[in-house]
Amino acid sequence: MVKPRPQIDQIAMYSPGKPVEELKREKGLTKIVKMASNENPFGYSPLAAEAIRTEMKEVPLYPEVTSPLLAEKLANKLAVSSDQVVFGNGSDEIIRLLTRTYINEGDEVVMAGVTFPRYKTNVIIEGGVPIEVEMEEGGVHDLEKMAEALNEKTKMVFVCNPNNPTGTIVHKERLKAFIEKVPSHVMLVMDEAYYEYADSPQYLETIPLLNQYKNMVILRTFSKVYGLAALRIGYGLMAAEMVNDLHKVKEPFNINRLAQAAASASLDDDEFLYESIRLNKEGRELLTNQFEAMNLSYFPTQTNFIMVDTGYPAKEVYEYLLNLGVIIRPGHLMGYPTMIRVTIGEQKDNQYFMDCLEAYLKEQQKDEKGVLKR
């Protein structure tokens, strides 16, 4: 057999949230509620839908290589310069491009102990060394410990803010102090995939810091609140020199025409954006109120998903919910064996999930004689 590079043996396949089609086939169910991949349950902008339809006639032609019109529009909206913007086939691709471009074998990359798994995978592929720093109680990055982990071998540090899978943010003042401590030879990657959902006054706006900290990269995406996950488009904001580096490494036609058109139109639709944020907040309130009424602890979330502690093995809860047609993410895969991560859905789906969870907990709490199991 032809052998892969040794790094490849160290990584596992990415395990996505179970697809709806697969569950329907497996269980013969008709009603499926997918609350596993933090997609937007409210769809996407009708302006984007229209733009996709219009762009369809251009499908035989390759797209523009650096999405210049979109870069210009986004840059204006975010008050950055258009040469500070790079697009990726999802922000996933930008993570890949950053490690591909900057990580040498043996370079250390610091990240939180429980965070988005693609950082670690991509670092390993390049022969880098992931340094995972234990989370604080409450699922928050321990920024002081992360700062202590930086040394002359460190090339990059990832801060996922808000963090996936815990949904938590790092508080403004702590983050500012951390940013100050990151040496200029270390790239600081702020992954803000859920930026639009964060409404805490404690959330730090990083774009105004971009020109001051030339080693900072900000990642955002059209996959979450904009609802364009299938089209695959995310972006990175960074010093123009780094954008040039990434442009040399990326595939020339990484952002297809439909994605460029849809992302551009989405930027014109604040109504869809704010309505998605509002509905998400409503769902967040329904879930957290009911968790509290049921005495279940959860991580305070600034995203469109929430991690809750059921007190029972996550795998079991996952299987139970799956049988009722609800797909969530079990926490044992992420270092929280009794927690589950649920994407905030449409209100009727949030309620259905809560009803199913309540039914599970009732079943667990009593055996046939009505005696508590644990």
Q: What is the rounded CA–CA span in Å between residue 180 and residue 219?
A: 19
| 195 versus 318: smaller Cβ distance to ligand PLP | 195
Q: Measured from the CB of residue 220, what is the shortest distance to ligand PLP in angstroms?
A: 8
Q: Applying CB under 6 A, which residues contact ligand PLP? A: 38, 90-92, 116, 160, 164, 191, 193, 221, 223, 229, 234
Q: Measured from the CB of residue 341, what is the shortest distance to ligand PLP in angstroms?
A: 11
Q: Measured from the CB of residue 206, what is the shortest distance to ligand PLP in angstroms?
A: 14
Torsion from C-alpha of 159, 241, 104, 108, nearest 10 degrees: -20
DSSP string, 193-225: TTGGG---TTPPP-GGGTTT-TTEEEEEESSST
User: Distance from first CA to last CA of the chain, Å, rounded?
Assistant: 51
| 169 versus 229: smaller Cβ distance to ligand PLP | 229
| 262 versus 354: smaller Cβ distance to ligand PLP | 262
| 312 versus 341: smaller Cβ distance to ligand PLP | 341
Q: Measured from the CB of residue 170, what is the shortest distance to ligand PLP in angstroms?
A: 13
| 290 versus 331: smaller Cβ distance to ligand PLP | 331
Q: Which residue is nearest to ligand PLP (CB)?
A: 90
Long-range pairs, 268-275, Cβ under 8 A, ≥24:
268/47, 269/45, 269/46, 269/47, 269/48, 272/44, 272/45, 272/46, 272/47, 273/45, 273/196, 273/225, 273/226, 275/42
| 193 versus 308: smaller Cβ distance to ligand PLP | 193
**Angle at CA of residue 170, ends 18 and 223, nearest 5°:** 35
Q: Measured from the CB of residue 40, what is the shortest distance to ligand PLP in angstroms?
A: 11
| 234 versus 325: smaller Cβ distance to ligand PLP | 234
Q: Measured from the CB of residue 118, what is the shortest distance to ligand PLP in angstroms?
A: 7
Task: Please give the structure tokens belonging to residue 300.
Answer: 């305070």
Name the E strands within the chain: 33-34, 85-88, 108-112, 129-133, 154-160, 187-191, 216-221, 234-237, 305-309, 326-327, 329-330, 339-343
Q: Measured from the CB of residue 365, what is the shortest distance to ligand PLP in angstroms?
A: 33
How many Cα atoms occupy the beta-carbon half-sphere of 62 within 13 Å?
Answer: 7
Does residue 313 have a cis bond before it (omega within 30 degrees)?
no
Task: Please give the structure tokens belonging to residue 24.
Answer: 């329907």
Q: Measured from the CB of residue 38, what is the shortest distance to ligand PLP in angstroms?
A: 5
> With left for phi above 0 and alpha for psi between -120 and 50, is residue 246 left, alpha or beta?
alpha
| 116 versus 320: smaller Cβ distance to ligand PLP | 116
Which residue from 104, 150, 149, 109 is spatially nearest to 127, judged by alpha carbons? 104
Q: What is the rounded CA–CA span in Å between residue 224 and residue 18?
A: 17
Q: Measured from the CB of residue 164, what is the shortest distance to ligand PLP in angstroms?
A: 4
Are 260 and 64 spatial neighbours (Cβ–Cβ below 8 Å)?
A: yes
